[in-house]
Structure 1
């Protein structure tokens, strides 16, 4: 997987009690039992980690980890091309 994916898994394991070895690319945030507050906190942590801006809708409970990494990668490309 990408370094973005690995960094997201690291954020989850450090701040949300998710075991890194139990996270797969097709796991959703719902699968990992992250509630709406945890998802907001993850969004904020992701913004800080990657230096990007995310809206409330960019990461949602039904996103897989692979989709979340893709969203972040897209935001990184957009941020660097501005």
Structure 2
């Protein structure tokens, strides 16, 4: 099982979702990036493949920062690993 890092999330946003790198900073929220709920679901699907664990579609919302999103994914991966 792979671990999601902030740097990995940034790389996914830039490379797979074409988010401009200059918009990305640690405290930015998904709302700041002006992404919609479909974007977040697609992002979570890509993240699931990266970490090899199921993440609920509603685990991350537009008000979450990128750093918080990484923490949320890690929490789900840790929980999945204890089942």
TM norm structure 1: 0.84
Question: Structure 1 runs of 4+ off > 3 angstroms?
Answer: none
User: In the alignment, is the contact (CA less than 8 A) between 1:59 and 1:68 conserved in 2?
Assistant: yes
How far off its partner does 1:22 sit?
A: 3.0
Structure 1 or 2: larger helix share?
1
What does 1:1-80 align with in structure 2 at a 5 Å threshold? 4-80=5-81
Aligned length: 81
What RMSD, in angstroms, separates the aligned Cα atoms of the two structures? 1.8
Ranges in structure 2 where 5+ consecutive residues have no aligned partner: none
Structure 1 gap segments, 5+ residues each: none
Q: Could you tell me the TM-score, scaled by structure 2's length?
A: 0.83
